[in-house]
Amino acid sequence: MILASLVFVFLAAALHVYIFTLESVNWTKPATWKRFNIASQQDAETTKSLAYNQGFYNLFLAIGAFIGLALVAFGGDGSAQDVAGWTLVFACCGSMLLAALVLALSGKKNLRPAVTQGITPLIAVVLGLIAVTS
């Protein structure tokens, strides 16, 4: 169960790195702003600093999840390293999951991206909880 959870932690973190690149690196490219339902290049330029900041939130969550994954993978079962790793995994993936919930609650048009953003951290958290409680 630990391995399965860590696979989903990796997938969640990798997706958030991808989202970071969209928001913080490629925001003003037409393919990107259209994906986010931004109406025009001018609107993309206007919202660029907001997207840039949001992208870094996603990156920091991903980094925390990757560090947690590594600590769990290379720490001994029940060691301080293992506990720190699971703490990071649950905090980062839990935050990803809660952000997806907020996105879903912000409107029906955001349901699909919310599910995309939230499914891997949800599975990671559920499998992780099973792993640490069994």
- DSSP 8-class letter at 77: T
In which element (H, E) is residue 13 found? Answer: helix 2-20
Mean pLDDT in consecutive groups of 10 residues from the start of the chain, 134 residues: 95 98 96 92 94 96 98 93 97 97 94 95 97 90
Q: So what's the pLDDT on residue 84?
A: 97
Domain boundaries, the chain: 2-133
pTM: 0.93
Cα 86–Cα 89–Cα 94 angle in degrees, nearest 5: 125
CB 118 within 8 A of CB 100: yes
Q: What's the pLDDT at 74? A: 95
